[in-house]
Structure 1
């Protein structure tokens, strides 16, 4: 049993929401290794890194039935690092790993201990020699911070003393201030646009709480979907293909990923509706798709995310980098259409993201959630947050990863596939870059999406069709 060491950091508003019974969320990260995993080496590494982070050595302090804060405790690694005995001969190892991870969603973590665990599966799969699985309660931190922290305990395979290199976003150069009148005019116009779009987004956000619901499609879960067992699958595509589209279209990685997602979901829904029509002569799937309201809920950090070095320094007790959950919601509309020109998906995605960038929706939703929590308590705030998510269809996220191969305490990684579960969505799509690859990680309710591999196929094929446009042009120019 863990023993208390005093202290008591209060729970952040988001942490309180994530611990509510109706909104009990977890982050799960699968990491495939190129070698068998030595559990003792992993434990020694955790002692030198993760166990020096206060949140990973703290448990929930519960008084009078309420979660009051984090209390430092003594950690027994054997309670957190789990190495199950596995039969040396398994007919379908990939399926075994999927079933194992899916079964984790059936049981909650023990609140009497720090809310994390690491499972080590020394089983050879199609993509790896062994698999490690982190399960962390979402109350411990936002997704971006948790992934950054996990990457901070890794090192470059080529240089065991060096931290991973994470790509940074370059801001577009602003208008030269030499023309002060033009600069002032553009600043005023930009500010007015920011206010207008923020008001519009917040009105739509409030209406989503009470009235606006997404269309019931083969992707949308029924009430209680957050309680269902989830299944996790992933597909790896080439970063070179994504960068090809990005460079040719002069967009961002996010624009390309949203375009691929919209195209893939449209293909999937088109197949589902065509199958349901049973070959009816009057069936027009394109017109049906255009009438669908399908939106994604995106959690956005409203504070600067501590970098890999900051996280490493925090574990070395050299940094005071901020930690916790400070997140707001953004509701992103998806366009469900079938386009003859695959590049139209990219153009639509860029227009959608550019529009959402010009809004303070995330900041305003965070402030509103905090206010509701203070005024009405966790139960009401969690109920409203759950309603917003349930009235949308999909959770969507993208986190940039290392640009080079990294090792997990000396074990080279083949892939990284993070996701979340416990929220009221039947589908979560997470993109995670690693070296020259992009992993598309899906968390699905198998009752709603019975064959998630088909959806992976659709996303992969959508990227191929977009890339083929530019490959064809290059061939023509030769």
Structure 2
């Protein structure tokens, strides 16, 4: 029998509870000074996290097997995991710990609300583990940032000045004409057909980075590729109307080509397509919003899972046979077509319809098939542009990743204070050298920057 205070899960929340698509989001926050446990507890008690009903609710199922959120009393100590054991120094230690957490079998206890905070004492690092059914990366990052303050203005919340994909969509709608409408409809039809074909028949050719069914259960390794935002802006300005996201996708395409060159160049034809899945925020407001905005029912920001996905084709090219900036030009042309088709919004609407009519099991099956037929996943969350602090302790880095997927390669990027860190998560039996792959991505950006500098 359900309680009168129970609240049903959203369709997306139910999707992330299915065995094939269950996901936990990890957000690692590096701190400059040693962590005081009592201070951490005090910050949690005073934070937006405790105020949010999702984080104060237990997942329960009624007699029909339908999931609900049921409010309970929170015991902070049961959610705080103190790690005193020694780990390798620097990023290697944090990445080793995150790799172990990311294995699909390392889930969260269903006996308490679906979140934990792991405290890596030797690395001054907090790792937030939050079930994806509670919200997506934008929601969760917004909640965490709401508990921080600017380093140089301790009473002010962090600020973000971004342009969202929604802004682009609105500008397109404002100037729409018959020809644009025809092109958009054609792109939508092509997108729908492509997704259906991906679900059931078409799959990427097998390469040195290919995963597949069951790979989500394999052991993981992780490395960090770091980029300067100014370098990305320098490259962006070399191609008219290019964006940071265009540069990111160019880096991925070039970096993967570099890696394949060194590992499996024989037998790969130039121009071979590898397909990724890119996650796109669909909220109307740009960037991260304050928690109060996310929780308003009439806010376009809305808490929860509100993202679409696009099929992201990148192409293998031998590293010595292509102008580095060609990767950016190809990426921009491809992303422009994706924007014009409203592919991300369309995928969200289709997913919502499938969930509502055919249920989470069938929706999970379709999602799993798409993952098995593509080569990698990419997400990008934009963080604060200025330095921030948490509980008076300066934040040195913000990084994110999620539980393993059938992909052997998962890329999650978060920018913070002039730098962007991309977590390169791999199935180590398929990609045994993620540090080398991370360097391939870093070198790809530096080569593009060098090409721009030479032209200037």
TM-score, length of structure 2 as denominator length: 0.90
Deviation sequence 1:54-99 (CA, Å, 0-9, x none): 1111121222372422111111111111112234xx6645443333
Query: For 1:374 and 1:312, how far apart are their aligned partners in 2?
Result: 28
Cα–Cα, structure 1 residues 168 and 296, in superposed 2: closer, same or farther, change >3 Å? same
Query: For 2:191 and 2:300, how far apart are their aligned partners in 1?
Result: 34
In structure 1, what is the equivalent of residue 310 of structure 2? Answer: 330
In structure 2, what is the equivalent of residue 280 of structure 1? Answer: none
Deviation sequence 1:205-228 (CA, Å, 0-9, x none): 001111110111111113201222
Query: For 2:285 and 2:206, how far apart are their aligned partners in 1?
Result: 35
Q: Is the 8 A contact 2:388 2:394 kept in 1?
A: yes
Deviation sequence 1:217-256 (CA, Å, 0-9, x none): 1111132012223333212221111111112323100011
Query: For 1:56 and 1:91, how far apart are their aligned partners in 2?
Result: 32
Query: For 1:192 and 1:241, how far apart are their aligned partners in 2?
Result: 38
Query: For 1:103 and 1:228, how far apart are their aligned partners in 2?
Result: 11
**1:306 Cα offset (Å):** 8.1
Q: Is the 8 A contact 2:27 2:400 kept in 1?
A: yes
Please identify, of 102-111 and 386-395, the stretch whose mean Cα deviation from structure 2 is larger.
102-111
**Which structure 2 residues correspond to residues 30-429 of structure 1 after superposition, within 5 A?**
30-49=28-47, 50-64=49-63, 66-87=65-86, 92=89, 94-105=91-102, 106-124=105-123, 130-169=124-163, 187-250=177-240, 251-274=242-265, 277=266, 288-290=269-271, 292-304=272-284, 308=288, 310-312=290-292, 322-338=302-318, 339-429=321-411
Cα–Cα, structure 1 residues 5 and 82, in superposed 2: closer, same or farther, change >3 Å? farther
Query: For 1:350 and 1:120, how far apart are their aligned partners in 2?
Result: 40
Query: For 1:97 and 1:23, how far apart are their aligned partners in 2?
Result: 25
Query: For 1:263 and 1:346, how far apart are their aligned partners in 2?
Result: 9
Cα–Cα, structure 1 residues 372 and 174, in superposed 2: closer, same or farther, change >3 Å? closer
Query: For 1:253 and 1:109, how far apart are their aligned partners in 2?
Result: 35
Cα–Cα, structure 1 residues 113 and 216, in superposed 2: closer, same or farther, change >3 Å? same
Q: Is the 8 A contact 1:167 1:400 kept in 2?
A: no
Q: Which runs of 5+ in 2 are unaligned?
A: none
2:205 counterpart SS class: coil
Deviation sequence 1:125-179 (CA, Å, 0-9, x none): xxxxx1111111111111222122222221111111111111211867969x9xx
**Aligned residue pairs, count:** 445
Please identify, of 465-474 and 210-219, the stretch whose mean Cα deviation from structure 2 is larger.
465-474
TM-score, length of structure 1 as denominator length: 0.86
Query: For 1:308 and 1:174, how far apart are their aligned partners in 2?
Result: 20
Please identify, of 143-152 and 457-466, the stretch whose mean Cα deviation from structure 2 is larger.
143-152
Q: Is the 8 A contact 1:421 1:443 kept in 2?
A: no
